Amino acid sequence: MSNIKRTLWLILFAILMCEGAVAQNNTNSPYTRYGIGQLSDYGSANSRAMGGVAFALRDKYQINSANPASYSAVDSLTFIFDGGVTLQKSNLSNGTVKLNANNSSFDYIMMQFRAARWAGISLGLLPYSNVGYQMSSTSKDEVNSSNSSTVTYAGEGGLHQLYLGAGFKILKNLSVGANISYFWGDITRSKSESFASNSSILPYTSQAEVKVKSYKLDFGVQYTHQFDKKHQATLGVVFSPGHDLNNTTTITDQTGNSSLGYVVSSRDSVATFGIPTSFGVGVAYQYDGRLTVSADLLLQQWSNVSYMNNDNAYSNRTKVALGAEYFPNPMGRHYLSHVKYRIGAFYSNPYYKVQGEKGATEYGVTAGFGLPIPRTRSYVNLSGQFVRTEGKQAHFLNENCFRLCVGITFNERWFFKRKVD
């Protein structure tokens, strides 16, 4: 019972942390000005250390929300709780101006347990996208300097999903699963113009606030084939149907200043938002329970999604990821023989457009460790990601970003009977 109480306290603490986390911005990228922002990674810290591969991963001691079919692999005696924090350091440059930024966020929380010999259940809170930017530009009037103005663009918010999922083993080597998510979030964007040298021209601000309340569905399949005692391969497929998101959009215009007063007008607007139909396929090869090599391909049909009543705001997105994990000796007596070593890489093209052109491609390399907590089956998962975001056009910004994700996976033995002599 003490293990159950300890885990429940951990869950309660993580939920309280997440209530604040959904209001945080963990990005300062100007590219989040477009679309619904920067899309979040799939999977937890162990997956991110492997380049983000997840569709074919199947581990009884790790939660893989990217493919709900994996839930059926959970150990019969185990309750799994997983939470993660991300720290990020970014450098932005357009060739002449450079900017550094630091961000952090409580990233995800998930839990998983077995419902039957052939079924597993998972529940979790995950980010979907993040918006966070502020940038200014000044235009000078050479004839009349008092007419020079400064325009500031700012945005914050993001979308989140609270999911409940189940995975079922329908045949010896075949599992299926599904997640249903409550999908919600707020995104606020504003444009302000001010004339510092001319008090007769009042500053002006226009703000658009979007509140989303909708749903999201994810389906997954995994097929595992055992070649012999030491060789195993898994094929994973995921599908998520796209649809329009229920939302309320409010446009607020404000003119004036503190000395002359403000004139504010607010109106509701009809705006279209959506998420795309997504297809994912992954393959994983495992040798002797010690070496895992995996590859993923993700296709998202963003070109069929409308944004703010614009049917041409997006383009289709593709992401390719490769990753590997090495577990030296599961039966070893030394601590280092139980450390899991991970490495990976990924490439992704953008879903948003900038001035009608493809935005910035993203690619990166990853690495990390799974550090066992002594005398338990729990792990501390560390992953480091170096990500390069490179503009398609010469005048676009380039970003270099280093992300450190720290995840803690608690494996508690719940479902067994204690014997007392």
Residues 219-241 have pLDDT tens digits of 999 999 998 889 999 999 999 99
Q: Are 219 and 239 in contact (CB under 8 A)?
A: yes
pLDDT of residue 167: 97
Contacts of residue 80, defined as CB under 8 A and 6 or more positions apart, other chains included, come to 61, 62, 63, 74, 110, 111, 112, 113, 409, 410, 411, 412
Domain membership of residue 123 (yes or no) is yes
Rg (C-alpha) for the chain, rounded Å, is 24
Domain membership of residue 418 (yes or no) is no
387 beta partners: 364, 401
State how far the Cα of 208 lies from the Cα of 212, in Å rounded to an integer.
13
Phi–psi pair at 21, nearest 5 degrees: -70, -35
State how far the Cα of 388 lies from the Cα of 368, in Å rounded to an integer.
18
Domain membership of residue 419 (yes or no) is no
Q: Which amino acid type is present at position 53?
A: V
Note down the domain range covering 220: 2-413
State how far the Cα of 393 lies from the Cα of 267, in Å rounded to an integer.
37
> Over the stretch 84-107, which tens digit does the pLDDT of each residue have?
888 889 888 776 667 788 888 778
Q: Looking at the whole model, is its pTM more than 0.85?
A: yes
Angle at 47 (CA atoms; ends 41, 49), nearest 5 degrees: 95
Domain total of the chain:
1
Domain membership of residue 39 (yes or no) is yes
Domain membership of residue 341 (yes or no) is yes
Mean pLDDT of 253-258: 80
State how far the Cα of 178 lies from the Cα of 165, in Å rounded to an integer.
6
What sign for the dihedral angle of Cα 155, 274, 127, 362? negative
pLDDT of residue 102: 84
pLDDT band at 298 (very low <50, low <70, confident <90, very high): very high
Q: Counting beta carbons within 10 angstroms of the beta carbon of residue 314, is it exposed (0 to 12), middle (13 to 18) or buried (19 or more)?
A: buried
The mean pLDDT value of the chain amounts to 86
Domain membership of residue 377 (yes or no) is yes
- The structure tokens 């995921």 sit at 238
Identify the residue with better confidence: 404 or 333. 404
Domain membership of residue 421 (yes or no) is no
Q: For the domain that residue 289 is a member of, what is the CATH number?
A: 2.40.160.60
State yes or no: pLDDT of 212 exceeds 70: yes
Domain membership of residue 67 (yes or no) is yes
Q: Are 410 and 81 in contact (CB under 8 A)?
A: yes
Q: Which of 359, 363, 352 is nearest to 322 (CA)?
A: 363
pLDDT of residue 243: 94
